[in-house]
Amino acid sequence: MIERGILVMNKPQGFTSFDVIGKLRGILKIRRLGHTGTLDPMAEGVLPVLIGTAARACDILPDETKAYRAGFRLGTVTDTQDITGTVLETNAVQVTETALREVIPQFTGEIMQIPPMYSAVQINGKRLYELARGGMEVERPARPAFVTGITLTEYDAASGCGVLEIVCGKGTYVRTIIHDIGKALGCGGCMTSLIRTAACGFTLGEAHTFEEVQQAADSNTLETLIVPTDRLFSVLPAVRLSEAQSKLYKNGVRLDLMRVRGISAEASRYRVYGADGAFLGLADADREEGCLRVFKNL
C-alpha cells in the first residue's frame, strides 16, 4: 500500500485534471489524491499527482514554475481564447516574424491579465465558465501574473501559425497571453494546442501514461513510479533531527533553534528529516523566539 509520494502523470487530451484523479483512484485503489495545478481538457502534459499525506502539500509548494509548448494561430479570435471555442472574428494576417518578435517582450515579466470567461475564476461565488455557458459575460478585474520568458520556436507568416515556449508562474493563462499578443498585433489570435512540459520541478520525460500506471499496478511495481514527497521541496535547505528532537517535532513541539544542526543564517523554511533519515515535513525558523516550529507534517 502506497502511503504517500508523487506520481507524475502525462495528462492526455480530453481529460480534466479531476478526471485524471478519478481514473487514478480506480487504478491505485487510493482515495486521497490531489494535483498541483489544473490543466484544461484540450491540454496535455505534466500533471504531478500527490498521494496520501503528500496531498497536504498542494497549497505550500515553493516552486510553482510551469513551462508550456503552445501552438497558436493569428487572425482567429474565439470566445474561449483557444481553438475549441466559437469563432468570433476572422481577420487577415500580415504579420512578419520580426513584428511578432518585437511584440512578445511586452508579455514577459510582471504582467496583468484579465481572466478568460471560460475559466474557473470565481466572481460573486460563481465560476466564470458557468456564467459563460449561460451566455453571460461579466466584467473581470485584471490579475497579476509573472511570465519568466517567451520564445518563438516556429512561425509561418503565410498561415499566421506558430509555436511558443512559455515559462510562467502559477495562475498564468497561456491562452490569454496568445489572445493578448494577437490583440497587440491588431489581428487577434487563439491557442491551437498546449503541452505542459514542466511543473513543480518535474519534466515531461518523468511523466507516465495511464497505460504505464496500469501495467505497474498489475505487476505490483507501482512503487517504482512513485517519487518521494520531499522532491517537491528540493529548493529548501534540509535539517536532520536527533531521535529525541524527531519525537518532539512529530508532536508539534517547538525546538531550540540553537540545538538544531543545519540551520543557516539566511533560510527561514526547512525540509525536516528524522534521525533515521525519513522525511518528516517542513519547519520554520522563528529567530525572534529562538525556535524551530512545525509548519507542516508530511
Active site residue 19: no
183 and 83 in a common domain = yes
Among 40, 82, 180, 230, the one annotated catalytic:
40
pLDDT band per the 50, 70, 90 thresholds, residue 91 = very high
User: Do 8 and 120 reside in the same domain of the chain?
Assistant: no
- Contact (Cβ atoms closer than 8 angstroms) between residue 122 and residue 31: no
CB 149 within 8 A of CB 167: yes
- Tell me the sheet residues that pair with 69: 165, 195
Count of CB atoms within 10 A of residue 46's CB?
A: 26
Strands (E), 169-228: 189-199, 202-203
Residue 64's pLDDT band, with cuts at 50, 70 and 90, is: confident
pTM reported for the whole predicted model? 0.91
Tell me which of 142, 174, 196 is where a domain ends.
Answer: 196
Q: Report the pLDDT averaged over residues 287-293.
A: 93
φ and ψ at residue 218, rounded to 5 degrees = -65, -30
Residue 163 domain boundaries = 66-196
Q: For the domain that residue 261 is a member of, what is the CATH number?
A: 2.30.130.10
Do 274 and 168 belong to one domain? no
| Nearest to 222, CA basis, from 30, 31, 13, 76 | 30
Q: How many domains does the chain have?
A: 3
Confidence of residue 181 (pLDDT cuts 50, 70, 90): very high
Q: Is 101 helix (H, G, I), strand (E, B) or coil?
A: helix
Q: Are residues 162 and 273 in the same domain?
A: no
Question: Could you tell me the CATH number of the domain that includes residue 83?
Answer: 3.30.2350.10
Q: Which of 252-257's residues contact partners 24+ apart within 8 Å by CB, and which partners?
A: 252/294, 254/286, 254/289, 254/291, 254/292, 254/293, 254/294, 255/283, 255/291, 255/292, 255/293, 256/290, 256/291, 256/292, 257/285, 257/286, 257/287, 257/290, 257/291, 257/292
How high is the mean pLDDT of the chain?
93
pLDDT for 38 equals: 82
Beta bridge partners of 7: 49
pLDDT in tens, 94-115: 999 999 999 999 999 999 998 8
The whole-number pLDDT of residue 130 equals 73
Q: What is the pLDDT of residue 127?
A: 79
- Written as nine digits, the cell of 141 is 478585474
Confidence of residue 46 (pLDDT cuts 50, 70, 90): very high
